[in-house]
Amino acid sequence: MTIAEFSISRNWQSDRRSPGRWLWSHAMRHKIYLLGVIIGAFGNGMGAGLIPIFIGRGFDIITKTGDVKALGTTALLLIGSQLVRGVLMLMRNFSSEVVGQRVERDTRDELYLSLIGKNMSFHDMQSTGDLMARATNDVREINLLFNPGINLVIGSINFMIAPFILVPSIHPQLLIVPIGYALVYGFLLKAYLDSLRPATEAERKTFGELNTTLAEAIDGVETIKGAAQEVKETARFDAALKNWRNAFVRQGDIEAKFYPLLLLGLLQAAGLFHSLLLFRWGMIGLGDVVAFNGMLTMFGFPTFAAQFAYSRVSTGISSAHRVLNLINAETTLDQNTAGFDGEMDGSITFEDVTFSYNGEVNSLAGVSFTVQPGQTVAIVGQTGAGKSTIAKLINRTYDVSGGSIVIGGVDVRDWNLESLRRQISIIEQDIYLFSRTIAENIAFGAPAATREEIITAAKAAQAHDFIMSFRDGYDTVIGQRGVTLSGGQRQRLALARAFLTDPRILILDDSTSAIDSATEDKIQRAIEQASRGRTTMLITHRLSQIRWADVIVVLRKGHVAMVGNHDTLFRESEAYRNIFARYE
């Protein structure tokens, strides 16, 4: 089972060893419907084979005896067989649709839970556009693999099986031509699938790249317009679109070269010749010739349908491979459900911590400092010194490369990850808000909070007044990432969200950078009030906030230059004085 930051226990586990095994494990959860597909397809094939049998029998009745009663009985039997065939076809198509829809639902659910469970190192390496292509279009292709793909494949196989069952009742020698056709057909089909597989994989890959280009353009549209780069980005999208089109055309070229279509004509000509020879030698009757050649037309459906059906299957397997690659991708963090899940006291200890995002260049090296419960610590340093990295290591968004971090006397790796993060709240400069109501955004970390509790938190964050200026107040729906709000308003909502969760450790990563001085003074008092009884970490350039910290950690190029209070550092640390000189 893949390690994950987050997972939901299930009473079953899919087989992830290969795309085929994975799809099969999902499909086998719906055995009754798979059986319906198989029975319905077999009944459809046999019912189709009975048509030429009854027609041949009717032909003999007309040419030999002219018995109207016997002809009527044959017609009724033909009609009855086709009514049964119709019911079985309905069962096959319904069952196939159910299997396809349910497998799509289950694979999409499995992919979503897997993506939620991946750590940030994984997500840092992924493109949103390609992830969305796999989560939507590729999962949809898995549905189409089963219906109509597998549905038509099973149906066409049974159309080929039926003549081999029914033809011996006419004369065993008539099997020679169908057997020869089946052998050559199988060889040509294998060659077709071998050439089709890389084409469908390329088409899926270029489609993902196209979505990546589109997602980046939409997400960065403000930057594109601000730099007047519409023409360049349009050309970039056109190039990605051309690559996908070319891959799609190459797939179409291979599908067009489906040689069994030529083989079908040879089958019918050879079958007619062979049956006429047997008729001439007196081994079969004229009605048998009609019945046999009628059954040869059944090979037309699997030949024509295979060109489309196997393309759907190949595309679906390629899509399954892309989805399964995401699910099976390694992640280094474990939610550690059996880990420590008690209350933390807020103490933080960094012991010779080293960390690298890419495994090569260290963002932090040999960092050590201690924060006592309830203290306020300020992390200061030039841009790129590693300040924000410290925040991400405390709540285990990333794991240390070396050394250890101890929270509340317990190594962060020994904590139950959910319990650890529930008691730590981080407010960053880049605030993410959801396309939901303001109340829902504030209560995101505490969904059971009452409206009164939400309002109290908003007032503490100095957000209540601007919220009430909206027509719908707390029920106002804001755009994705809060684009309908100013930077200061977004940050005040984030502060309200943090206050509502009542964390033991509150981390403010430049969280008042977009707030005016007057509002900052109010929020500063709110933060001071909220900081009582909990550990607070400030990552900021605001000198007014740095001064009142109990402990100040000065970082320089990923190393701790010095630790102390404001007076000590200002007197003894040149790096600290340089920071003040820059912002004074």
Summary mean pLDDT of the chain? 84
Q: Which residues touch 54 (CB under 8 Å, ≥6 apart)?
A: 74, 75, 77, 78, 81
402 with 364: CB under 8 angstroms? no
Average pLDDT over residues 169-182: 90
- 48: exposed, middle or buried (Cβ count in 10 Å: 0-12, 13-18, 19+): buried
User: What is the pLDDT, as a whole number, of residue 482?
Assistant: 57
139/105 Cα distance (integer angstroms): 9
Pairing of strands 535-539, 376-381: parallel
Please tell me the least confidently modeled range out of 61-75, 199-213, 523-537.
523-537
Average pLDDT over residues 495-506: 86
The domain 19-328: what is its CATH number? 1.20.1560.10
**Structure tokens given for 273:** 């010749």
**Structure tokens given for 89:** 């076809």
pLDDT in tens, 67-126: 888 889 989 999 999 999 999 999 999 999 999 999 999 999 888 888 887 777 777 777
User: What is the pLDDT, as a whole number, of residue 273?
Assistant: 92
User: What is the pLDDT, as a whole number, of residue 142?
Assistant: 92
User: What is the pLDDT, as a whole number, of residue 582?
Assistant: 57
250/253 Cα distance (integer angstroms): 5
508 with 527: CB under 8 angstroms? yes
User: What is the pLDDT, as a whole number, of residue 28?
Assistant: 92
Q: Is the model's pLDDT at 536 over the cut of 80?
A: yes
Average pLDDT over residues 28-32: 92
User: What is the pLDDT, as a whole number, of residue 80?
Assistant: 93
Confidence of residue 581 (pLDDT cuts 50, 70, 90): low
User: What is the pLDDT, as a whole number, of residue 517?
Assistant: 66
290 with 59: CB under 8 angstroms? yes
User: What is the pLDDT, as a whole number, of residue 337?
Assistant: 78
- Measured over the CA atoms of residue 572, residue 508, residue 464 and residue 467, the dihedral's sign is positive
User: What is the pLDDT, as a whole number, of residue 87?
Assistant: 94
Average pLDDT over residues 411-434: 84
Average pLDDT over residues 328-335: 75
- Measured over the CA atoms of residue 22, residue 26, residue 32 and residue 37, the dihedral's sign is negative
In DSSP notation, 356-409 reads: -SSSSS-SEEEEEEEE-TT-EEEEEESTTSSHHHHHHHHTTSS--SEEEEEETT
User: What is the pLDDT, as a whole number, of residue 384?
Assistant: 76
Higher pLDDT: 127 or 322? It is 322
Q: Is there a common fold for 19-328 and 348-583?
A: no
Q: Is the model's pLDDT at 433 over the cut of 90?
A: no
Q: Is the model's pLDDT at 519 over the cut of 70?
A: no
- Residue whose pair of structure tokens reads 């600290």 in the numeric block: 576
Average pLDDT over residues 448-453: 90
Q: Is the model's pLDDT at 133 over the cut of 90?
A: no
Q: Is the model's pLDDT at 7 over the cut of 70?
A: no
Higher pLDDT: 389 or 431? It is 389
User: What is the pLDDT, as a whole number, of residue 418?
Assistant: 84
In DSSP notation, 287-323 reads: HHHHHHHHHHGGGHHHHHHHHHHHHHHHHHHHHHHHH
Average pLDDT over residues 220-235: 81
∠ CA 232-237-240, nearest 5°, is 130
For residue 471, the SS3 value is: coil
Architecture of domain 348-583: 3-Layer(aba) Sandwich (3.40)
- 225: exposed, middle or buried (Cβ count in 10 Å: 0-12, 13-18, 19+): exposed
Q: Which residues touch 372 (CB under 8 Å, ≥6 apart)?
A: 347, 535, 550
50 with 81: CB under 8 angstroms? yes
| Full 3-state SS string of 248-268 | HHHHHHHHHCCCHHHHHHHHH
The widest CA-to-CA distance across the chain, in whole angstroms, is 122
Please tell me the least confidently modeled range out of 121-135, 400-414, 519-533, 536-550.
519-533
What is the phi/psi pair of residue 259, to 5°? -65, -25
Q: Find the length of the chain.
A: 584
Please tell me the least confidently modeled range out of 4-18, 212-226, 499-513.
4-18
566 with 552: CB under 8 angstroms? yes
- Residue whose pair of structure tokens reads 């099997």 in the numeric block: 175
Angle, helices 286-296 vs 260-280, to 10°: value is 170
pLDDT in tens, 546-563: 777 888 888 888 888 888
Q: Show me where the domains of the chain are located.
A: 19-328, 348-583
Asked if residue 148 has a cis previous peptide bond (ω within 30° of 0), the answer is: yes
Confidence of residue 1 (pLDDT cuts 50, 70, 90): very low
